Amino acid sequence: MKTRFAFLSFLILLLGSTALADIKEYNLVIRYDAVNLTGRSVQAMTINGAIPGPSLRFREGDTAKIHVRNEMDVETSIHWHGILLPNLQDGVPYVTTPPIMPGTTFTYEFPLIHSGTYWYHSHTGLQEQRGVYGSIVIEPQMPSITTDIDHVVVISDWTDENPDEVLRTLKSGNDYYSLKKGAMQSLYGAIKADALPDVLMRSWDRMPPMDISDIAYDRFLVNGTQSASLNAHTGQKLRLRIINASASTYFYLQYSGGNMQVISADGVNVKPVHLERFLIAVAETYDVVITVPDNKAYEFRATAQDGSGYTSLFIGMGEQVAAPDIPKPNLYKMHSGHDMSGANMSSMMKHNGSMSQNDMKNMPQQESSMSESDMKGMVEQESNMSMSMTERPPAPYDNLRSPVSTALSKDLPLREIRLELTGDMERYVWSMNGKTLNEADLIRIKKGDNVRFVLVNKTMMHHPMHLHGHFFRVVNKHGDYSPLKHTFDVPPLGTQVIEFYANEEKDWFFHCHVLYHMKAGMARIVHYEDSELDPLIAPIRKNLFKEHWYFWADASFLTQMTEGQLVAADTRNTFRGTWEAGWDEDFEAVFTYERYFNRFFQAIAGGVLTDGEQEDRGIIGFRYLLPFLVESSVWVDTEGDARITLDKSVHLTDRLYAFGEFQYDSESKEEWLIGAGLKLSRHFSLIAQHHSEYDAGVGINIRY
């Protein structure tokens, strides 16, 4: 009854507001442009000639009519992130909306039935990283908060490198980005950080070196520039509409002029709370209110979570007042820090129900006070936070409280779905329940049900998860007053629970908003049962599941020999060719097909070619990752002989590494090598090694 009443109330309000609604039109042109954000000119993708694109401003009740023109030679798209709209207008190619083909214009048209701070971006390939994003502001019909200045703050990350090359580098296992941003882990670093036992234990558990982000960015930007200024006078109150439009960077936000009053998260009002510093995940938005204390320019700073840089907006006039630096993460001990801890949600599971989309659309735009009765069922907040939690805080969800109840009627059916966030950092495969988007079934839900997602992060990375077309409650200590959001962080080895009322139809995208994680497979389609695909989507849906192949090479040329490999790989399949040869002696070449099952086990089949005493032969076997991250392979050949190989490499310092290999063949017996390398650049290393068959030598290693 409560839900039906809310729905009828919403319809009455919607019809009343629509009668007075305006049609607000914008024209967006996506094209190639040369940009220089780092001192180097590169080709980017711009919207109306700029990065970010224009800020689109509307009023709740308006109808948005947006003409998007594609002047590039590749298809594109625009997704309206966080906005509730008809399925066909959502803008995800092959999921809800056809792509915008080169030389064509697509017109999006949809009613704006709620207010808040949102953003838009391409959902095609990696175009978002190349500049296709912008901000959206929808003013409420009845504003509840008045400020002197209302300012949009779009923070983002930028690389001069082609994003497709970035993804290929990640797929190849090249650790260049860790070296570039000073995050390479080594034995020397572990000893210096008094963390050698931590590193050894992690290695024993077959966990790779920890990092917070995958990429070394060239710049972090605020409204398209590394540092910006905003004129404001003493005592003025400002509303900052903060949008994290990064492809893969979380930021710590702080203001040198005092605490920030958070009033909205993901476009939905929360009970105002003062925070000194907080973490914003990729694709989230927060509205904060700040004041200018006196006649100076105070820094609003967004610091990359991995400590690799920051971007600044100076607010006010006069002498600049810098925000304090944030300690860099201790990557060697992160398993014991907040970055590796997730909220214990077991006590939260008793909260059954969530707020319907219709209730959300009809939410009052003012704050309510917290009564003692509201405190019932809330989880006690820890009173003593560690220094790391204070200086490097997690996402602020436990500080967020909805001004009204977000609980649904407990009379509705509840469907609970457990999703494990899984992946392999070395191979750069990201998945849910061990399957990528290409391999996965639909997440099936039923209209009229309450739905609960329990997300368990089994990886060492943060994952900002975004559900299209819905708001959900992020279950926290506030119970029935848990906040509504459309994007939320699931921390490393942590768990988050979200709940929502299923009142839509057709298909909606659900994915990690780290762009490269999504592209590498961490996505699903949420499907409403008993609904059919739009006729425009049904014949092209298959294009969503196309596999992408990546190619790389690793070759060493020494004074006594040469060795290396050529690789072609997609998500599950690898074709690999390796060779080992002396300049005047025998050679061996191994060609294999490898089927990937998980990060520990791969089956292999192929052949061995030689010009020595052994005959060419076929092989079958497997690769397996042993404790201490020792790579092993075992095979049997068509002659009945077996071979076991063990490989291990370790960084001694940031640039100096050691490596070794032991091989036992039932016919040719033992073979081994030991060596060291010095990384000179992304593609080149100097190496020296001793091989049991080819003796000692020095040379160069090339990776591409």
pLDDT digits (tens, 9 = 90+) for 522-554: 999 999 999 999 999 999 999 999 999 999 999
What's the pLDDT score for residue 602?
97
Sheet bearing 260-265, strands edge to edge: 219-222, 149-158, 237-244, 285-291, 260-265, 268-275
Residues of the chain with CATH 2.40.230.10: 550-703
pLDDT digits (tens, 9 = 90+) for 473-490: 999 999 999 999 999 999
Report residue 586's pLDDT band, with 50, 70 and 90 as the boundaries: confident
Fold of the domain spanning 340-362+405-525: Immunoglobulin-like (2.60.40)
pTM (2 decimals)? 0.90
Give the right CATH number for 20-141 from 3.20.20.100, 3.40.50.300, 2.60.40.420, 3.30.420.300. 2.60.40.420
| pLDDT greater than 50 at residue 23 | yes
Per DSSP, the chain holds a count of helices (H) and strands (E) of 8, 43
| pLDDT greater than 60 at residue 349 | no
Q: Is 221 left (phi over 0), alpha (psi -120 to 50) or beta?
A: beta
Percent above pLDDT 70 for the chain: 89
d(CA 111, CA 113): 6
Report residue 613's pLDDT band, with 50, 70 and 90 as the boundaries: low
What's the pLDDT score for residue 21?
65
Fold of the domain spanning 550-703: Outer membrane phospholipase (ompla); Chain C (2.40.230)
Report residue 5's pLDDT band, with 50, 70 and 90 as the boundaries: very low
pLDDT digits (tens, 9 = 90+) for 186-215: 999 999 999 999 899 999 999 888 889 999
Mean pLDDT of 218-235: 97
Mean pLDDT of 55-83: 98
Number of C-beta neighbours around residue 335 at 10 A: 17
Residues of the chain with CATH 2.60.40.420: 20-141, 155-161+216-332, 340-362+405-525
| pLDDT greater than 50 at residue 31 | yes
Give the residue with greater pLDDT, 248 vs 357.
248
> 437: burial class by Cβ within 10 Å (0-12, 13-18, 19+)?
buried
d(CA 3, CA 447): 13
- Superfamily of domain 155-161+216-332 in the CATH hierarchy: Cupredoxins -  blue copper proteins (2.60.40.420)
Q: What is the DSSP string of 253-268?
A: EEETTS-EEEEEETTE
pLDDT digits (tens, 9 = 90+) for 484-525: 999 999 999 999 999 999 999 999 999 999 999 999 999 999
What's the pLDDT score for residue 210?
80
